[in-house]
Structure 1
Amino acid sequence: MDLVNHLEGRLLFAVPKKGRLNATALNLLEGADIQFRRENRLDIALVKNLPIALVFLPAADIPTFVGEGQCDLGITGFDQVAEHDARRRAIARDQAESGKSTPVEGAPAKGCEQVLDLDFGACKLQVQVPVKGKYRTPADLIGKNIGTSFVSLAAEYFAKLEAEADAANGEAPGAKPLRTKIIELSGSVEAACALGVADGIVDLVESGETMKAAGLEAIDTVISTKAILIKSKNPSNKTLVDLIASRIQGVISAQQYVLCQYNVERKNLDAVCKVTPGRRAATINALEEEGWVAVSSMVEKKRIATVMDELSKLGAEDILVVGILNTPKPDELSEELLNANTMSSPQPSPPTQRRSSSPPQQQEKESSLSRLVIAPLTFISFLLSLFLVDTYTTSSRRRDRGPRSRGSWLSALLWRQKPGSPY
């Protein structure tokens, strides 16, 4: 299939094609019910259930494609967006200084905007130096060689350090050429110091194991970063952008929360609601047993063990914790709707028979109907079955032991003699 010719009318969604963000980003799309199949060696995949095309790009290029309006949405790291913005600022500054900047009236705004913090891929962009080296502070690296793949961010960082150092020395403020040399490296940045290419580096640190193995230590943090969802300032379909953002937000919220359900006496309701206040408010239903209520509330997953302990101390019983698959726009939905999206299927039955969350009037109506109609009919059917079985058995015995006779009308109805049969 010629995928390029099938992009007309589709919203373009840029996704990291590989690297540390790829697998988690794809799982997030699956949770948002964005259905697609990526063919081998193809960087474009058409979504089956929505007018969307996924474009697989290097994470560093996604802010450029989204910022220039070639893609409507994208998943990338905040560090990549910050680097893209720093590069745009540097270009605009150079053009302004050279007098080549000519704004065009009516031109569409360019750039990208952050929509959501996706809460994965957390790491830090840090200044690193050899552990056994002579550089101990970032200021010691002014005028030295710095290796990095984040050229624009590193340049801004050291430009600020140089301006602070000049101000401390009493020099007049103003634009000056950068004295620190920024060396662009596209990979294996941590090896630059050992190979003598750089005196220090600016690189991403996730766990710190690679940095320690290379004999480096961090002396400052430039920015902290996570994966984020970004959109163009001029998306082709704003409604669809909002829909996707809502679905992804629902998946993220579902990963952070669980649904806690329990029964408690009404006199303890105020105390337990302080422990489980919910996202907006707890859902409370009266039980058949007088003085008892059922409570449902969303609780942060990382707090659930402590919350269960506190609820038990306050007299809560029959505590259940249910996982949530999705909760789109949680701030605008009542928590009763979460039961339709929980992981436990079917839902657990009420823990005890003496407590029921059904309305008492409905239960009383059903009980009266059962006593007046259903129970007598069941009993009559049982007696009729016994009578028919007894009549059939008695008729069979008479035929086996005594002379043949026509018997009663009921026996003749139940037993018809076949031609040629001794019975």
Structure 2
Amino acid sequence: MTEDQTKYEDPQYGWLLAFAAASVFVLWMSYTTSGWQFVVLFVLGFLIGFTLFHTRYGFSSVYTQILEDGNTQMLRGHMQKLIIAVTLFALILSTQTGLFGVRPEGAVSPVSFGVVIGAFLFGFGMNIGSNMGPAAMKTKEGGRTALLFTVTGFLTGATIGGAHYALWNVSLPHMSPISLAEDTPLGYIGAWLLQTGIFAAVILGSYLYKKKRRPPALPPMPRGTGFREVLFHWWPIWVGATVFAVLNAAVLLVQGSPWKLTAAFTLWGSKISDAVGFDPASWRYWGDQAAVTDLTNSIFTSSLSVLNFGVVAGTLVTMALAGLMRFSGITLLNAVMTLAGGLLMGYGAAISFGANVGAYFSGLASMSLHAWVWTLFAVLGVYTAYYAGNKLPYLRQ
């Protein structure tokens, strides 16, 4: 029986009530502390979390599928998402259109040793500890338990990466941030044509590759016409891709910057570090990548935090509706591997200006040169872990 055919349990009303109450509390605190802008950001985050549950938004699995069975369907979904996102971002950034008085800026970062090493570590870690994806939310084989270890590792790695930010991105040779649209003769139209042309070429090439390999199809996708299908089941890939792109563009309009995930984890981990006696304010990360006042101000004055609180809330509420807030035992090896994978992912993401959200999705949509470098080395990390797993089976989950 495929996941799409699984009959989910009844809603878990206890969990649902707890998550709903927590969401109302965050909404209220966001409104009283920072106003309606942050309320809208929480709602957008909630919708992103809801969408995450319903889509095959993996990263490592997209590229390992090509090797394992030649299936490129998810890769084409990624390219569709990026075409829509870069089109919307180009319109917003070129016209400087923003809500709540913001001036939108893309996710444009330097090319540095941090990007190269961090992206590779992230790709490698995601392949061996890939329980931080939508499939792990639904699996009935311990994925949700392993997810806790991955998230713990990610939080720890993102914090340590923040402490080591200067080593990789300041002390070692690095370039200034380069926007293909603003810092090259291409301009917005030229950069948009270049990137959409590359994404379209990948779609065409992957389709021809699929025709040659004739891989087995992915499990049948629901049409999304029934109430329970819309709430609980996978959405068609093109639907998820479109919704993700539109929501990220909406975040850019409201927040003034696109969706980033790792930066929120670095903030939360740094606050914990400060509480237990460390001095994160002395890290170069604070003052360079984020305001040092974020460490002392209320968490509800951080737009990234409120946005990602919404992402977490949207995911958990949907899981409770589907009756999936249940955890099963996992082996010690699985726990160690997912913790290690999360640690590599968090550390790599923190030193490379983001993960498959901030650097890959938002970075490519922002037409940043660093995002292309990040993508190349992250995919290299995925494939290195994949081939290492063939030699050392305990690396494979």
Q: State TM-score, norm by structure 2.
A: 0.20
Per residue, is there more helix in 1 or in 2? 2
Q: Computing the radius of gyration over CA atoms, which structure comes out larger, 1 or 2?
A: 1
Greater RCO between the two (CA within 8 Å, min separation 6)?
2
TM-score (norm 1): 0.19
User: Going by fraction, where is strand more abundant, 1 or 2?
Assistant: 1
